[in-house]
Amino acid sequence: MQANMIRKVAESDPDQLITKTPVFVLFQRLFTYIWQHKLPLIAGLSTIVGLSFLQVLIPQITRYTIDVLIPQQKFHQLPWVGVAIIGIALLLGTLNYARSYTMALVGQKTIYTIRHVLYEHLQKLSLSYYENNRTGALMARVTQDVDSLQNLIISDVAEIVADTFAFFAVVSYLLYADWQLTCMVLATLPLMVYLTQLFGTRMRGAYRDVQRQGAEINNHLQETLSNIKVIKACANEGYEVDRFSERNRENMAANLRVVQLWSVFSPVIDLMNHLGLAIVMVYGSWEVIKHRLSIGELAAFVAYLNIINQPAKKFSRLLNVIQKAATACERIFATLDTEPEVMEKPEAIALPNITGNFCFENITFGYDSNEPVLKDFSLEIPAGTTLALVGSSGAGKSTIANLAARFYDPQTGRITVDGYDLRDVTLKSLRSQLGIVSQETLLLHGTIRENIAYGKPGVTEAEIVAAAQAAHAHEFILEFPQGYDTMIGERGVKLSGGQRQRLAIARALVKNPQFLILDEATSSLDTESEALIQDALKQLLHGRTSLVIAHRLSTIQTADKIVVLEKGAIAEIGNHTELLTNQGRYAYLQALMFKSSELPT
Ligand SMILES: Nc1ncnc2c1ncn2[C@@H]1O[C@H](COP(=O)(O)OP(=O)(O)OP(=O)(O)O)[C@@H](O)[C@H]1O
Ligand SMILES: [Mg+2]
């Protein structure tokens, strides 16, 4: 079953659905982020232009020395040759420093922006997105993928710009000096471009695999390390090591495929370069012998050949980075282009302070729209009352709670609070007035104080303590040596189940919400903590509108209204006594619950 689930998740992995967007289009979009830092960018590019210009100068000095100084024995000019070269070298060094720094600045700032935008967008995406994507893969996107952009922007884009610029400067000079020889040298260029493209497409495919395998490793790590208890309980350590080593091996294989491609490509490009050199030496020397070219010019030609071959040579290395960055861009932009399913309307208004009259009107909803969980469901929770939802597992109780908090939107029908459609108000204003204690207690790594305060930013110490007292958490908190500063571990693993529940209740209480959604956990507690939680709940429900998904007899009995839900539809509705006299589904469930509550724990 586990394997099935994993397969299903992998199938819905949007990474595999990515269409092949042209690199150009991807980078054009990336450039909009780079352009946000135009000042250092322009400064960096100017130093690059300066650098290219200086690079062109040195071979000219060589040519002058060979063709003029040596034959004409101009001894007095020799020291100036040394000074000029050293001067240019110093200038090159300074400009290189400026270039590295400004380009790194552009790169780092761009990466910062992209990472920020990406994380901000991830926070906006709906729960359904997280259900269909694995955490490890999403983490890889924000870390690994953004990092590969960093390489591209910081070192390589600057280099390619510099080299391209130098290329055009040099080629213009060469065409002027000897256009025939230049054309011969350039003849290798189309072949180079063709080869680059050929390898480029394959490389991109290979990089996509590398990234996918990297994300798989991340997924595996995230899932297994955070669920280590399940693995140990099932004694599946060996199984997980095997699964991991399989992923690890696939990752290695994917990387080796890239290396393989790259290892073929690099020597091919080198061969092209030497072909250029052969042409220059053979044809150039012939020209020199025929006195159509001077020795100095030939020497300059050889030096320039190196410069024009630089872009091609580096481009082959760059191809690596470019393809890697292109696949990263693809993923990042695909994430950024995903619209949250639960969207706030642009004209959404802030929900005024509610009294808490909740209405479900003819709701049809399914997590998958083809399989409705709720069918034409209608229900009203009058302000200030407690409504208990009971029903068998999978009936759709938590689903109703999810809809009330607008974690999902219904496919048809509407949900209103005090007459406002949930879709017409801002999510923030809605959720700030809701208190949610969910079925699985969700806590964050941090101190007890931080966890309670998480419900309401800016809450005072007195409010935290008051909430903890009302939730009957204060007593156990003070028993810890560090009290409210006790670290509770990831997801609160250092606390007992009952303690976690009471903290979650305190977190909901501190918000003092008008509408409360309480999805009681079914975990059985000992009688004492059961009584404590019961009392905490009573505090929580007092004077508010509440939707309680109840498993505890006492909570159900004191509710103003009880709804029995079966397969997404209301089977019975009424209060405790009414439903008992009905002798229907409720009476049956009650009898069952009563029986189990009498069992010794
Ligand atoms: N995130 C989800 N994605 C897809 N299907 C879901 C999701 N959550 C719940 N379901 C399905 O919706 C149906 C109703 O689930 P729901 O969680 O509302 O049940 P419940 O009444 O709260 O059950 P329980 O008493 O066990 O908590 C179930 O068939 C379940 O498989
Ligand atoms: Mg549930």
Encode pLDDT of 170-206 as tens digits: 888 888 878 888 888 787 778 877 887 788 778 878 8
pLDDT of amino acid 8: 35
- DSSP string of 452-474, one letter each residue: HHTTSTT--HHHHHHHHHHTT-H
Q: How far is the CA of 52 from the centre of ligand 1 (A)?
A: 64
In order of their start, the domains of the chain are 20-337 (1.20.1560.10), 356-433+516-521+548-601 (3.40.50.300)
Encode pLDDT of 298-330 as tens digits: 888 888 887 777 766 666 667 777 878 888 898
Q: How far is the CA of 439 from the centre of ligand 2 (A)?
A: 6
Strands (E), 422-578: 434-437, 515-519, 545-549, 561-566, 569-574
Place of tokens 């209608």: 378
Phi-psi domain of 370 (left: phi exceeds 0; alpha: psi -120 through 50; beta: other)? alpha
Question: Is residue 556 within 8 Å of residue 390, measured between CB atoms?
Answer: yes
Q: Which helix (H) or strand (E) holds 89?
A: helix 78-124
Query: Ligand 1 pocket: which residues have CB below 6 Å?
Result: 131, 367, 373, 391, 393-399, 439
Instruction: Evaluate if residue 528 carries a pLDDT over 90.
Output: no
Instruction: Evaluate if residue 13 carries a pLDDT over 50.
Output: no
The torsion defined by the Cα of 372, 378, 381 and 386, in degrees rounded to 10, comes to -60
Q: How far is the CA of 212 from the centre of ligand 1 (A)?
A: 30
- Cβ burial of 64 (10 Å; 0-12, 13-18, 19+) is middle
Cα–Cα nearest to 149, from 315, 31, 311: 31
Instruction: Evaluate if residue 274 carries a pLDDT over 70.
Output: yes
Cα–Cα nearest to 49, from 161, 176, 175, 172: 161
Instruction: Evaluate if residue 294 carries a pLDDT over 60.
Output: yes
Q: How confident is the model at residue 529 (pLDDT cuts 50, 70, 90)?
A: low
- Please give the residue that has the higher pLDDT: either 330 or 164: 330
Question: Is residue 318 within 8 Å of residue 84, measured between CB atoms?
Answer: no
- With b for 16 or more beta-carbon neighbours within 10 A and e for fewer, the 101-122 pattern comes to ebbbbbbebbbeebbeebeebb
Atom of ligand 1 nearest to the CA of 397: 21
pLDDT of amino acid 380: 92
Q: What is the DSSP letter of 199?
A: H
Phi-psi domain of 306 (left: phi exceeds 0; alpha: psi -120 through 50; beta: other)? alpha
The token pair at 361 is 């009107």
Q: How far is the CA of 477 from the centre of ligand 2 (A)?
A: 28
Q: How confident is the model at residue 12 (pLDDT cuts 50, 70, 90)?
A: very low
Instruction: Evaluate if residue 157 carries a pLDDT over 80.
Output: no
Instruction: Ligand 1 pocket test: pick from 370, 373, 547 the residue with the most ligand atoms within 8 Å of its Cβ.
Output: 373
Can you give the three-state secondary structure of 326-338, one letter per residue? Answer: HHHHHHHHHHHHC
Instruction: Evaluate if residue 93 carries a pLDDT over 50.
Output: yes
Q: Can you tell me the distance from the alpha carbon of 322 to that of 490, in angstroms, rounded to the nearest whole number?
A: 38
How wide is the angle at C-alpha 396 spanned by C-alphas 390 and 402, nearest 5°?
105
Q: Can you tell me the distance from the alpha carbon of 172 to that of 570, in angstroms, rounded to the nearest whole number?
A: 82
Q: Edge-to-edge strands of the sheet including 515-519?
A: 434-437, 515-519, 545-549, 386-391, 561-566, 569-574
Cα–Cα nearest to 147, from 24, 302, 324: 324
Place of tokens 């809701």: 434
The token pair at 535 is 């009392």
Atom of ligand 1 nearest to the CA of 391: 21
Mean pLDDT, to the nearest integer, of 466-482? 89
